[in-house]
Amino acid sequence: MDLRTILWATAVGGALMLVSGCATTHTHSAQSICQAAGGTYAQGTCQPGSPTSGRQICEKLNARWVEALGMCEFEGGKK
């Protein structure tokens, strides 16, 4: 595969992900993310807690951990 084909495929793939990702927006407060990571949130600052895995954070935010991507996947609706 030449560079032009790779770049084109990457651009098309990225555009498709953006379009599919725009269907629903998910938000989380800084406090909920901090607490899911085991920290304490006060005065706009997250104080670290104990080490927490990405999987654990996702589960606390009611999301599904996608191991291959190292990301949380959220179902529809505002979190």
Write out pLDDT tens, residues 49-66.
877 888 888 888 888 888
Name the pTM for this structure.
0.54
Whether 4 is covered by a domain: the verdict is no
Q: pLDDT band at residue 27, thresholds of 50, 70 and 90?
A: confident
In one-letter notation, the amino acid at residue 49 is: G
Mean pLDDT of 32-51: 86
Domain span at 30: 25-79
Domain membership flag for residue 18 = no
Task: Look at residue 35 and give its three-state secondary structure.
Answer: helix
Q: Could you give the CA distance from residue 31 to residue 39 in angstroms, rounded to a whole number?
A: 9
3-state secondary structure of 75: coil
Q: Are 26 and 62 in contact (CB under 8 A)?
A: no
6 inside domain: no
| Count of domains for the chain | 1
C-alpha dihedral over 47, 52, 53, 57, to 10 degrees? Answer: -70
The pLDDT value recorded for residue 17 is 55
76: in domain: yes
